A = this chain, B = another copy of it.
């Protein structure tokens, strides 16, 4: 029982009794992201996950009705939320409102690790259609952000 009450932090942003998982089980596009569920069955209405994006990697560009509450835990990078791009650093807080396109990108020099709280009961992410993606790319700042890895 004791090992369940306290799970020690290990080197490299890993934790006792926490598996390092594939970021996505489906074919959604992303690059170099891992996922760890830190609290997922604690009898709570929410889950706490830790995502880590390797240098120059990025999460999936997506949106959904549920909200993300994010705290950057390691490194730095940028995020797209809606129609704006933000620089993000360790311990910054990011709110992703409902049905808002978002993507997290690590800088070239460092990984980007972040905590993300979501409701346990939530909808599945939506990917942009080709038309939606074309509309997003019409804003130069968003186009530059999305093409940073090309």
- Docked complex Cα distance between A72 and B70 (Å): 16
Q: Are A94 and B44 in contact (CB under 8 A)?
A: no
0/1 per residue, A27-48, Cβ < 8 Å to B? Answer: 0000000000011001111101
| Residue of chain B at shortest CB distance from A100 | B5
List the one stretch of A53-61, A112-120, A130-138 in contact with chain B: A112-120
Query: A69: CB under 8 A from chain B?
Result: yes
Chain B contacts for A118, CB-based, 8 A: 44
**Chain B residues with CB under 8 A of A25:** none
Give Cα distance in the complex from A98 to B46, angstroms: 16
Contact of A15 among B44, B45, B86, B93 (CB under 8 A): B93
